[in-house]
Amino acid sequence: MAKTPAVSLASLNARKAGETPFAFNLIGPDGKETDIVLKVLGAQSDAVTRLTSQLINTRRREEAERAAQASSNRPGDAITPVEDDVVFGQRLAAVRLVGWEGIEEPWSPELALQLCQMNSDIAAQVTAQSNKTANFISASPKA
C-alpha cells in the first residue's frame, strides 16, 4: 500500500486561508442557484474573528449594564430581548460578507448589513458558507 503524501502545517491554516474571499452563487427560494454571487471571508479569518469579538464584547458589556441597572423588583429588565438576538445574528453574518456580483448597488459594509437584515435566508447562507472550512482550505496534498 502506497504511503499518502503528507500535507504541510501551513496548508491547514484556516485563519490565513479565510482571508481570501470565497465566492458562491446565492440559492433562491426555489432551491436553485441564482446569478447573484456573494463573497465571504472564512469564519476563522482574522478580520471575522476580530469583528465578531468586538460585537460579542459590546453585547456582553450591554448585558452587564442592564443587569446592574435592573432592580431586584424587576429581574426581567436584565434579559436580552429576542429581537436583539436576531439583529445580533444578522450583524454576525454581515461582517463575513465582503462583496457581491449581480446586485445593482455596489457592496458596502452598510449595504451588507442591510441585505442580511432584510433576508434571513441570505444571512444564513452567508454564515454557512463562511463556516465551511473546506471553502478555504483543503487537507489533501497537492499532486
In order of their start, the domains of the chain are 17-56+83-135 (3.30.2220)
pTM of the predicted model, to two decimals?
Answer: 0.80
State the pLDDT at residue 1: 64
Q: Is the dihedral of CA 80, 54, 49, 127 positive or negative?
A: positive
State the pLDDT at residue 53: 94
Going by pLDDT thresholds of 50, 70 and 90, the confidence category of residue 141 is: low
pLDDT of 33 over the 80 cut: yes
